[in-house]
């Protein structure tokens, strides 16, 4: 039987900044799919700590050990980005039931308006509490983020809040 999904998949997000939870999903997705495109949303309406360029640089460094990963950014609708890049599927991590409602809604919408499928991966329970916002909050008040984000991000957070 031939493999049906030989093209790239996308892991979209804000990644402000990338956490160890995201990285776990990237590692596992890169084993399952031929190519994984990490796409950082450019959203000027949202105030982010890191610029899109900084977020891309942090992602590139943190995934340097994975050969089938591409990091890029997109603006507008995710399904339009998928169309331009010939991507037929999205991969998302689900941390807890609380993620499910919104993620299901987005998955159904993206399928309805763009015919793009979504694959959910259960997050590693070690990171089920973790979000970029939590990591920023800890760093802001001087706590250690060593168990929350990759080392390059920990250094970048400490520079931002120093
Ligand atoms: O890391 P985030 O902020 O939870 O990621 C959300 C993201 C970027 C995946 C989502 O907001 C998105 O796909 N935005 C692009 C605009 C779009 O396609 N909207 C329709 C689906 S909600």
For residue 109, which atom of ligand 1 is closest to its CA? 21
**Closest residue CA from atom 21 of ligand 1:** 106
pLDDT tens by residue, 35-92: 999 999 999 898 999 999 999 999 999 999 999 999 999 999 999 999 999 999 999 9
What residues are labeled active site? 22, 46, 95, 132
pLDDT at 3: 55
Establish how many alpha carbons lie within 13 A of residue 79's alpha carbon, considering only the half-sphere containing its beta carbon.
13
Beta bridge partners of 37: 10, 70
User: Candidates 3.20.20.10, 3.90.800.10, 3.40.50.620, 3.40.50.1370; correct CATH number of 5-126?
Assistant: 3.40.50.620
Quick count: other Cβ atoms within 10 Å of Cβ 37? 22
Could you tell me the pTM of the whole model? 0.96
State what percent of residues in the chain have pLDDT above 70: 98
Q: Does 2 score more than 60 pLDDT?
A: no
For residue 81, which atom of ligand 1 is closest to its CA? 18
Query: For residue 139, which of 153, 124, 128 has the smallest C-alpha distance?
Result: 153
CA of 78 to the centre of ligand 1 (A): 7
pLDDT at 44: 87
């Amino acid at each position: 039987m031939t493999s049906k999904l030989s093209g790239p998949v996308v892991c979209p997000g804000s990644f402000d900044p990338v956490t160890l939870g995201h990285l776990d999903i990237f590692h596992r997705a890169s084993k399952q799919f031929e190519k994984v495109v990490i796409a950082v949303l450019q959203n000027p309406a949202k105030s982010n700590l890191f610029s899109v360029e900084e977020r891309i640089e942090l992602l590139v460094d943190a995934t340097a050990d994975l050969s089938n990963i591409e990091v890029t950014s997109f603006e507008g609708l995710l399904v339009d980005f998928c169309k331009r890049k010939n991507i037929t599927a999205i991969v998302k991590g689900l941390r807890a039931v609380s993620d499910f409602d919104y993620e299901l809604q987005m998955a159904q919408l993206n399928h309805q308006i763009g015919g793009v499928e979504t694959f959910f991966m259960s997050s590693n329970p070690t990171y089920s509490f973790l979000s970029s916002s939590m990591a920023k909050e800890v760093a802001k008040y001087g706590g250690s983020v060593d168990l929350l984000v990759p080392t390059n991000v920990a250094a970048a957070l400490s520079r931002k809040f120093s």
